[in-house]
Amino acid sequence: MGEMKPVLPRRYHRLREVLNRRQTDLTVLLEDVHKPHNFSAIIRTCDAVGVFSAHGVYTEGDVPAFSETAKGSQKWVDIHTHPDLKTAIGHLKNQNHTIYAAHLTENAVDYRQPDYTQPTCILLGAEKWGVSEEAISLVDQAIYIPMFGMVQSLNVSVAAAVILFEAQRQRLAAGQYNQPSFDPETYDRILFQWAYPDLAAMYDEAGKPYPALGEDGQFLIEN
């Protein structure tokens, strides 16, 4: 597959440290969150908390572009878009996620109440319109962040951060960041993609398995 410069050992070990803490069963579902800086800030928070993949539904327009705010975090969080809300929620429920809509409504519970150590998805609503009625009818529970000010809502990326860091707090206490949540084969595959994204794409295109890597991320055999 041609000459490829090996990844620096320090970077390879850093990638492993981050991948070891990725949570495959903690995610967000963004419902038409369309402003690039909000979308970017949420993905950056997902990276910080250890969310492995994030989901979005864009019925009102295109998936937003990433802005400077993302700081490159989009390379480390898998982003899935779905054609509509029903498909997205069906997909996440099939993976046993409980779906919580961040939404200030009468029967919402305080965001600190749920058990986020279980497979969890946080649905966040559009900047202007909030969470749709359809979403409310499909989710398991609404959650709210108590507000004591004059303004009735938080910026969506701030709300996402508050809730995701509560999930992080609970998962840290439960020891869920202590071991990788992937099977070894998946772990090695993702690590290769993170360390050598261009090469991984070439192997994918050729339909070939990735080569094994050494302790420091070096190639063990000639490609």
Is 43:74 a contact under the CB 8 Å cutoff?
A: yes
Q: State yes or no: residue 138 binds ligand SAM (CB under 6 A).
A: no
Q: In which order are the strands placed within the sheet that holds 109-110?
A: 78-82, 53-57, 26-31, 120-124, 98-102, 141-144, 109-110
Q: Which is nearer to ligand SAM, 49 or 159 (CB)?
A: 159
Taking the C-alpha atoms of residue 86 and residue 83, their distance in angstroms, rounded to an integer, is 9
Is 44:77 a contact under the CB 8 Å cutoff?
A: no
Beta carbon of residue 42, minimum distance to ligand SAM (angstroms, whole number):
10
110: which strand partners?
144
What secondary structure letter does DSSP report for 186?
H
Q: Which is nearer to ligand SAM, 20 or 98 (CB)?
A: 98
Of 56, 64, 114, 130, the residue at the interface with ligand SAM (CB under 6 A) is: 130
Build a one-symbol-per-residue string for 143-172: x at contacts with ligand SAM by CB under 6 A, - elsewhere: -xx-x-----xx-x--x-------------
Q: Which is nearer to ligand SAM, 15 or 32 (CB)?
A: 32
State residue 112 phi and psi, 5-degree precision.
-85, -5
Build a one-symbol-per-residue string for 87-116: x at contacts with ligand SAM by CB under 6 A, - elsewhere: ---------------xxx------------
Q: Which is nearer to ligand SAM, 124 or 213 (CB)?
A: 124
Taking the C-alpha atoms of residue 189 and residue 199, their distance in angstroms, rounded to an integer, is 12
Beta carbon of residue 31, minimum distance to ligand SAM (angstroms, whole number):
8
Q: Which residues bind ligand SAM (CB under 6 A)?
A: 102-104, 124-125, 127, 130-131, 144-145, 147, 153-154, 156, 159
